[in-house]
């Protein structure tokens, strides 16, 4: 089916809710922005392929960004967000707050890969314009587009709104802690216990407190706009249609309650309900022969005694420095100069 003019696009979206499907099959129909309203008064702004925001007639004081598919093969969060968008467009659910949905890497969804040329989640906070990346790549232009969308969305309600950004992912390897979140570096600001409790209600009980600036999407929203922002890992990568959605029911229900303004049963923060880690070592690959000294399918958050050999490359060995030091996101196949392993040690919030 080819649809071209904006009135038939709007009719199609309202009848079927298939914004993501149309963004993937005919991205050009969203080259120019489209605005329309639903019968319940919610304003819909389609800002580009895979990018749309909703503003309910009466807004409840929160501006919420839900992004998925920043890595194209991380399908479960894409399916969850697609479902919300369908239900909102078809008026099966009604929002209480402004919400911006972002489906990140559309071409990589089609090729079932993490990315086409560059890791999109390393290109924010202006990194898409740095000399070290291929600025002509799809991901660089997409990072720039997504920064514009987020900035425009938050700035439209300057000062009056609380800001949130949940960047939803799934991990390449299994994890001892299936659902976990990376809390971006806050430059000395206090971590939000309410946010940890909220994410616990989503089934996320493990947090990694980042100790430095990064070029991830969540750090961008946190640092530039003061948003409560997290990279949330919801489980393991599987192809579209093969996710056991029952494993995601808690996060799906809780996020839906959040955007629709329904009450959420969250517990008061207690350190003992969580596994909280801080970064101990960032190990970058500096040579072609970089190799991991543990098995390829080692789960994230596996821990080791002090002095354990984790990886080596010509002339260098990388070892744990603490008992109980755990590894996260190990990947020997990254480009030279990029992070190959992160190690973490347990901590608590004071
Ligand atoms: Zn990811």
Burial of residue 160, with CB atoms counted within 10 A of its CB: 0-12 exposed, 13-18 middle, 19 or more buried = exposed
What is the distance in A from the centroid of ligand 1 to the CA of 267? 28
List domains and CATH numbers for the chain: 6-271 (3.40.630.10), 282-341 (2.40.50.630)
Once rounded to an integer, what is the mean pLDDT over residues 224-250?
Answer: 91
> Which has the closest alpha carbon to 150: 137, 138, 161, 163?
163
Q: Above 60 in pLDDT, residue 1?
A: no
Q: Tell me the mean pLDDT in the region 250-257.
A: 97
Average pLDDT, integer, range 42-61? 96
CA 70 to centroid of ligand 1, rounded, Å: 6
What is the predicted pLDDT for the residue at 350? Answer: 80
Q: How far is the CA of 278 from the centre of ligand 1 (A)?
A: 20
Asked if 321 and 303 touch (Cβ cutoff 8 Å), the reply is no
Cα-to-centroid distance, 170 and ligand 1 (Å): 6
Q: Using 50, 70 and 90 to split pLDDT, how confident is the model at 238? A: confident
DSSP per-residue letters across 223-244: HHH--EEEEEEEEE---TT---
Residues 6+ apart with CB under 8 A from 69: 50, 77, 78, 103, 104, 105, 106, 108, 109
pLDDT tens for 164-197 read: 999 999 987 778 888 999 999 999 999 999 999 9
Question: Tell me, what's the pLDDT at 2?
Answer: 63
- Determine the distance separating the centroid of ligand 1 and the alpha carbon of 12, expressed in angstroms: 30
Cα–ligand 1 centroid distance for 216 (angstroms): 10
Give the active site residues: 233
Token pair 């530039």 is at which residue?
224
CA of 8 to the centre of ligand 1 (A): 34
CA of 171 to the centre of ligand 1 (A): 6
């Amino acid at each position: 089916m080819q649809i071209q003019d904006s009135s038939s696009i709007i009719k199609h979206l309202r009848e079927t809710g298939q914004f993501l499907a149309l963004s993937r099959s005919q991205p050009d129909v969203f080259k120019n922005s489209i605005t329309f309203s639903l019968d319940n008064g919610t304003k819909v702004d389609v800002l580009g392929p895979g990018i749309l925001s909703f503003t309910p007639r009466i807004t409840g004081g929160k501006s919420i960004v839900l992004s998925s598919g920043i890595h194209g093969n991380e399908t479960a969060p894409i399916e969850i967000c697609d479902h919300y968008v369908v239900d909102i467009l078809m008026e099966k659910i009604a929002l209480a707050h402004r919400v911006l949905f972002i489906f990140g890497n559309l071409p990589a969804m089609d090729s079932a890969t993490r990315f086409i040329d560059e890791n999109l989640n390393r290109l924010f906070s202006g990194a898409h314009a740095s000399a070290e990346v291929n600025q002509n790549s799809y991901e660089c232009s997409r990072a720039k587009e997504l920064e514009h969308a987020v900035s425009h969305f938050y700035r439209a309600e300057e000062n009056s709104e609380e800001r949130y950004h949940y960047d939803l992912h799934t991990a390449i390897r299994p994890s001892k802690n299936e659902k976990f979140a990376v809390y971006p570096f806050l430059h000395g600001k206090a971590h939000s216990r309410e946010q940890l409790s909220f994410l616990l209600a989503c089934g996320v009980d493990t947090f990694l407190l980042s100790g430095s600036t990064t070029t991830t999407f969540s750090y961008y929203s946190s640092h530039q706009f003061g948003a409560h922002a997290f990279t949330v890992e919801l489980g393991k990568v599987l192809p579209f249609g093969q996710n056991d959605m029952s494993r995601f029911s808690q996060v799906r229900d809780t996020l839906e309650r959040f955007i629709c303004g329904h009450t959420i049963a969250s517990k008061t923060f207690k350190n003992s309900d969580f596994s909280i880690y801080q970064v101990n070592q960032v190990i970058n690959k500096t040579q072609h022969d970089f190799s991991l000294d543990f098995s390829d399918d080692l789960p994230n958050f596996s821990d080791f005694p002090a002095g354990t050999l984790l990886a080596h490359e010509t002339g260098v060995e990388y070892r744990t420095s603490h008992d109980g030091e755990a590894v996260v996101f190990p990947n020997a196949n990254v480009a030279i100069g990029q992070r190959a392993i992160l190690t973490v040690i347990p901590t608590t919030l004071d």
